[in-house]
Amino acid sequence: MRLVKARIQGYRSIKDTGYFEVEDLKTILVGPNEAGKTAILQALQKLNPPEGIPLFNPLRDYPRSRHDEDIVSGRIDSASFTVVEGHFSLSPEDNEVMPEGFKDIIFVYGRYLNNKTWYKIDGGLKKPTYKDIHKDLTRLCAHIDKNYEKEIAESATEQAGQKPSDGLKTITEKYLDDTILNEAESKPLLEWLQKIYSYIDENNQTEEERFDKLKSMLSISKIRNQALSKCNELLPKFVLFNNYFRVKPSIHLELLAQRTEQKVLDDENYDYGNNCLLKLLGFTARELSNAGKATVSDINNPKQMQAYKDQLDNRSYRLNAASVRLTNEIKKVWNPNPQKPEASKLIIKADNQYLKVVVEDELGVEVELDQRSEGFQWLVSFFVVFFAEAEDKHKNAILLLDEPGLSLHGLKQTEFRQTITRLSEKNQTIFTTHSPFLVGADELDLVRVVEMNNREEGTIIHTTIAAKDAAAMLPLQEALGYDLAQNLFIHQKNLVLEGLTDYWYLEAISSLLQDGNKSYIDNNIALIPASSASKVVYFATILHTQNLKVAALLDSDVSGDQAAKQDTLVSTLGNKRIIRTKDCYKGIVAKPEIEDLLRDTLVVIGKDILSWDVKSKALSQTSRPIVDIFVDEVGTNFSKFKLAKAFLRWSRDHVLTDLAPLEIEQCELLIDKINKSLK
């Protein structure tokens, strides 16, 4: 089960976020300090937290400035005020255990301020109303009453009594047309159907089918409740890592066992981390401690000797297995270049009553974990806690990471970003960050910008890459700047684009073509968004002066025409390396943009994903650019960023043949021109 969107209201700095979308794998929350990013994660965790996590406290959690006005005055009823609400989609595995008629539904789950929960299903078979079955019941009654009277007339002993339909009248006398037939209302009707079944003429196919239809409709409420119950079982836990517990490099097992048994943790952070380490090893502190005390009372007793040896070997082998697993994971982040080994081998070993965590460097020297850098200690502790808990309560959970990797160097954060991606494949992940190194230039569609312009308005989550506060956008600007700096002068082949949306479209198109065994963008070509058509000339000129191959892709609209006609750009690149969208377009739009190459698909995406229905206008105005039609029909809510991001998301779940044939032809032509221009 995956979270697809959520809403938070009335929690600390949050008045109302409105509904915000959550990505299928990982979602990145960026924003300045005090914007409310941590509050968002805390509220989400309380939707369905692990055992022992405190729930809402109206006094402390409801926005302080409105507590008296809303809570004390009684204007807000804590029993009906939903603080956090999540909408969940079902995975293919979830669908396998759902009853028929309730696959691919959306499960909605919320928690009130008083901590009671509610849930419902969007989609699936709809509960019938009395109006939905009334006509069929009437016709069925006429049939069975007729057969009943016929039986009475043919019987010499039976006397007429209540007709079968009289029993139905008793059940339905209080029903109105709009009465919803919940399970309680459906049960007596189902029992009545069972009683009167014998009065249905077995040769009357119409009434047999009517009976089956009624029985099926009256069973919907029960099946729907079963589906609700199953969804409730599948609901993932929300696990917040906002305090990354550390693993102590040297643990006295007997003392830890005593503190754990007595529930007296004198250093909670370390003891939690240490117990996670033991859980990863598959031991309790008491088991390892007792193993360290093991002795042989009779060295001449072969059975005692073997039991003693087995106990120590079991401990040694499991410690070694855990050491190998952790070492492999840490090397993926800390030591990605095997030619330049940095940290090396993590070793967990037991020495009587001490469990030690040491690191062996490339020289073979062993040092305690706490003698390594702060960043390396954090990384080891993170993996220990995560792997230990993932085996237990965090399995299939949604991970909420608050500012992960702060103590890691920028380049290590870049590598750790890939680790988060790997984790998110099994555990959907939402994390906050200020760091540009944890936001890839190809991940901007995964970003949600969080800001708080003033306390009265509270925390806001933007579903587009936009914010009033420039500080909220800083990590994204830095991420783009870093990516640009990294790529600007290292690729021999460079394609300068007007903006980020063009980058997204080309990435998605190239990926679809590649998966469809068609020609895709040469991997050696760097795609460089210039933020506007007017700036394309500056990027192209700078790259050209470095003796690099450069081409530019420009829309065929007014701004693209102006840029394409600049003498500097023409003299720098030459006409062959200035690619225009009209060169690849086969339709009748006079000044096509890149969106017009995907016109039909974007119309569908606009309606299905963004609820922007422009189909009729697009069909009647085929010579107008599709972006102009979206602007007219959608108005101020239209955003090229939203449309491009929706296409990028759509492309991940679709194949090339889902595009219209003409769109495929135009895309192939565009990619071919790009590759040929930079040969």
pLDDT of residue 333: 61
pLDDT confidence of residue 448 = 87
pLDDT tens, residue by residue, 320-330? 887 887 787 77
The residues, ordered by sequence, that sit 6+ positions from 35 with a Cβ below 8 Å of its Cβ are 450, 451, 452, 459, 472
Is the backbone of residue 76 left (phi > 0), alpha (psi -120 to 50) or beta?
A: beta
What pLDDT does 656 receive?
95
Write down the pLDDT at residue 671: 95
521 or 490, higher pLDDT: 521
pLDDT digit string, tens, across residues 107-156: 999 999 999 999 999 988 899 999 999 999 999 999 988 888 887 777 65
pLDDT at 224 over 80: yes
Find the distance separating the first CA and the last CA of the chain, reported in whole Å.
46
For range 194-198, the mean pLDDT:
88
Coil, strand or helix at 556: coil
Q: Tell me, what's the pLDDT at 135?
A: 92
For residue 675, what pLDDT is reported? 93
Percent of the chain with pLDDT over 90: 37
| C-alpha closest to that of 373 among 401, 407, 332, 423 | 407
Alpha-carbon distance of 563 to 499, in angstroms, equals 13
Range 320-325, long-range pairs (CB < 8 A, 24+ positions): 322/280, 322/281, 322/348, 323/347, 323/348, 323/349, 325/387
Nearest-5° Cα angle at 172, 170 to 176? 145
Give the Cα separation of 54 and 39 in Å (integer): 14
Percent of the chain with pLDDT over 70: 88
Burial 254-267 (b: 16+ CB within 10 A, else e): bebbebbeeeeeee
pLDDT at residue 279 greater than cutoff 80: no
Q: Which residues contact 247 (CB under 8 A, 6 or more apart)?
A: 270, 273, 274, 276, 277, 357, 369, 377, 380, 381, 384, 385
Three-state DSSP class for 116? coil
CA distance 543 to 496: 10
The rounded distance, in Å, linking the Cα atoms of 553 and 560 is 9
Range of weakest confidence among 311-325, 428-442, 463-477: 463-477
Q: What is the pLDDT of residues 414-463, one digit of tens each?
A: 777 887 888 888 889 999 988 777 887 667 778 888 888 788 788 888 77
Average pLDDT (3-11) is 94
**pLDDT for residue 294:** 62
143 Cα distance to chain centroid = 54
Helix H or strand E encompassing 270: helix 268-281
The mean-pLDDT minimum among 22-26, 198-202, 340-344, 551-555 falls in 340-344
Domain boundaries, the chain: 134-223, 240-392, 488-674
Query: What's the rounded Cα separation, in Å, for the pair 30 and 35?
Result: 9
Strand-pairing partners, residue 28, are 431, 447
The predicted structure's pLDDT at residue 626: 95
Q: What are the pLDDT digits (tens) for 374-395?
A: 777 777 777 777 776 665 556 6
pLDDT at 484 over 70: no
pLDDT band for position 79 (cuts 50, 70, 90): very high
Is residue 295 scored above 70 in pLDDT?
A: no
- Give this prediction's pTM: 0.64
pLDDT at 339 over 60: no
d(CA 82, CA 347): 48
Find the mean pLDDT for residues 198-223: 90
- Looking up tokens 């077995």 gives 202
Band the pLDDT of 501: cuts 50, 70, 90.
very high
DSSP character at residue 237 = P
CB–CB of 32/472 below 8 Å? Answer: yes
Give the number of other Cβ atoms within 10 Å of residue 664's Cβ.
Answer: 18
Is the pLDDT reported for residue 228 higher than 70?
A: yes
Taking residue 213's Cβ as centre, other Cβ atoms within 10 Å add up to 13
Condensed to tens digits (0 to 9), the pLDDT of residues 560-577 reads 888 888 887 888 888 889
